[in-house]
Amino acid sequence: MRQVVITGIGVVTSVGNTKDEFWHCLVEGESGVGNIEQFDTEKLNIKVGAEVKNFHGSDHFSKSQYSLLDRFSQFAVVAAREAVSDSGVTISDEISLKTAVIIGTGAGGQNTQDDNYRKIYSEGTRRLHPFTIPRLMINSAVSHVTMDLGIRGPAYAIASACASGSHAIGQALNLIRSGVTEIALTGGTEACITFGTMKGWEALRVMAPDTCNPFSADRRGMVLGEGAAMFVLESLENAQARGAKIYAELAGVGMSADASNIVEPSVDGAARAINEALREAGLEPEDIDYVNAHGTATKLNDITETMALHKSLGESAKKVSVSSTKSMHGHALGAAGAIECAVTALAVFYGIVPPTINFTEPDKECDLDYTPNTARKTKIRAAISNSFAFGGLNAVLALRKVKKGSKNNIN
């Protein structure tokens, strides 16, 4: 079975619109959470979010192209461009036929949806933009990435709520392993900070009114985020042959369904996904030096995830560095798993564990090392990134360091 590696990363997030800016902000513990500025929040109870800042679609697209793209598609295309540039790969006509595009999103074109509902129901508009449907459809981001970069291989969207990005990356991994494609451009994108979406999340009563502080006793809930992360995946042999920079090996993916509750997480389901990721990657619990936690800062998730890590990692759970970077970039829903995979790959590459910021007093039921408030430089041989979605759909990605010129990756 072919080893698959990450050779390109592109991001658009609330803490940076490029990979380097993103990583700098995470290591420094800078927060992307603030008052929502995209629309009037007077009628909202929750007025904070982790918005992408200083991003203007008109800076990245021609006028005719811009009119066709919802915000979530804009994020995906810009992140995809950076990932391809970062990888140094050339997508020739021949290569384009063997390159896949797999992108996860939880909700698709919510800005388009929200704008049109307002025009129809509030303003009484009788005619909408002719490209309303192409803008809001779930696969819009995938389609625009293929057209922008000239990619003609397998391409489709994945929708599994908060696990969408991780599921998409796992699918891309398996396409390369199986030989269906040589290269994959994959990740997740979301732009859900709209008035209607915020009202929906308010109704669930899981949103914090101020900040995000996972695993702390005084946590009050999640903060909605937005953005995208995209990756170039290819076989280790291909990457080494062209002298590519390798961030990490994408060594395994574990997937499971809780089959129990539409909103409450399951210890068993989460632990099974972690165990499967380790098994597929050929890793033992003691090999894991870092866990990028799902860590939403909701009362139930943080306790459930802590229990799942104890169940899956055993005694090693107490020794591993854990952090929830949602404390900085918010919960980007369908893009969350991809953004956090980017965090994990960069953590492995640089040997730095980013912190869980805003950490105060630990919850008595959250008893692991959550890397409070300050980044930690350490050797990271292997790591996992957890994504546990509403609907009980779980995806865990296992990454490990690749030693140059060697296939022995755990040392």
- Name the nearest CA neighbour of 335 among 272, 389, 274: 389
Cβ atoms 257, 269 nearer than 8 A? yes
Catalytic residue (one of 25, 331, 341, 366): 331
Residue 303, number of CB atoms within 10 A of its CB: 17
Active site residue 162: yes
Active site residue 331: yes
Fold match flag (4-241 vs 252-400): yes
**Domain edges within the chain:** 4-241, 252-400
Cβ atoms 142, 169 nearer than 8 A? no
Cα Dmax for the chain: 65
**What's the CATH fold of domain 252-400?**
Peroxisomal Thiolase; Chain A, domain 1 (3.40.47)
Catalytic residue (one of 162, 212, 341, 366): 162
**Each residue's pLDDT tens digit in the chain (411 positions)?**
899 999 999 999 999 999 999 999 999 999 999 999 999 999 999 999 999 999 999 999 999 999 999 999 999 999 999 999 999 999 999 999 999 999 999 999 999 999 999 999 999 999 999 999 999 999 999 999 999 999 999 999 999 999 999 999 999 999 999 999 999 999 999 999 999 999 999 999 999 999 999 999 999 999 999 999 999 999 999 999 999 999 999 999 999 999 999 999 999 999 999 999 999 999 999 999 999 999 999 999 999 999 999 999 999 999 999 999 999 999 999 999 999 999 999 999 999 999 999 999 999 999 999 999 999 999 999 999 999 999 999 999 999 999 765 444 443
pTM here is 0.97
Active site residue 60: no
Catalytic residue (one of 167, 192, 212, 294): 294
**Token pair belonging to 304:** 């459930």
Q: Does domain 4-241 have CATH number 3.40.47.10?
A: yes
- Sign for the pseudo-dihedral over CA of 21, 201, 212, 317: negative
**Token pair belonging to 161:** 């709520």
